[in-house]
Amino acid sequence: MTNVVLVCLHGWGGSKESFTELRAALEGTEMEIFTPDLPGFGTEPEPDRPWTNDDYAEWTEQWIRRQKAEDRRQKFFLLGHSHGGRIAVKLALRGTLPIHHLFLCAPAGIRHGRHFKRMAGLILAKTGKTVMGAAGLQKHSEAARRFLYKLVRVHDYEKASPRMQQTLLNVTREDFRPLVSGVNIPTDIFWGTDDGMTPISDSKIFHREIEGSELHVYEGIRHGIHRDKAKEIAEIIRLRLGIHRDQNNTDKDA
């Protein structure tokens, strides 16, 4: 049994495959890596009802316990990207898992005003055919609809089942601003300056509110920072864990 465990939680629409690059970057590091598919993504079935962030946190904690990944004889570390960052924060606030260190990669959770693009996106997602008809775009409705969805960035909503659509609305409705100051675990935060999903301004909120946290900002990087900067994130993980590169790696995909 290794003495270090790292659990990685993917973002909305992702899967455990989201951490392929990070696994490769951590190769040769003596740790056990767990990358679950969250309910509704990858190989994991949808939940039986629309879920909230707390539901995802509860499921994740139970999943971790089933893997015995939180064994108190080991050092237990948690990483979350985007929606996975929401869940990681929820788990940190619970205090029921022995989390030694938290790694947040462009975490979602800071709610912004429903500006025009977001509002237009939700309207389109709910009334697509009507809007296309009113605009006289029936002949090219599919192409026009996809263009408009791309414009307002609501692909996640469009592609989801009705149950997951409501789940998406539930998880994005919760504002983490009043919550993050309650995180009292050593935390590293990673963000790209060109992130169009979770704006770089959000990084300042997380950094300010999580006492003692360290913020790592990367120029020109978008929302996939966990993939695009996997090597850099792996180096910070090694630094925080005090692990040397030449140690043996024991991965586990569960």
Q: What is the pLDDT of residues 201-218, one digit of tens each?
A: 999 999 999 999 999 999
Q: Which domain holds residue 209?
A: 4-111+174-241
pLDDT at 243: 60
**Do 147 and 67 reside in the same domain of the chain?**
no
Q: What is the pLDDT of residues 169-190, one digit of tens each?
A: 899 999 999 999 999 999 999 9
**Do 124 and 208 reside in the same domain of the chain?**
no
> If you average pLDDT over residues 134-149, what whole number do you get?
50
Where does a domain end: 128, 148, 166?
Answer: 166
The answer to whether residue 254 sits within a structural domain is no
The answer to whether residue 67 sits within a structural domain is yes
The answer to whether residue 248 sits within a structural domain is no
Could you tell me the CATH number of the domain that includes residue 51?
Answer: 3.40.50.1820
pLDDT at 30: 87
**Do 131 and 225 reside in the same domain of the chain?**
no
Would you say residue 74 has pLDDT above 70? yes
**Do 13 and 59 reside in the same domain of the chain?**
yes
Q: Which residues contact 98 (CB under 8 A, 6 or more apart)?
A: 70, 72, 76
d(CA 166, CA 116): 21
Query: E strands within the chain?
Result: 4-9, 32-34, 75-81, 99-105, 187-192, 214-218
**Do 25 and 91 reside in the same domain of the chain?**
yes
pTM: 0.82
**Do 80 and 93 reside in the same domain of the chain?**
yes
The total of structural domains in the chain comes to 2
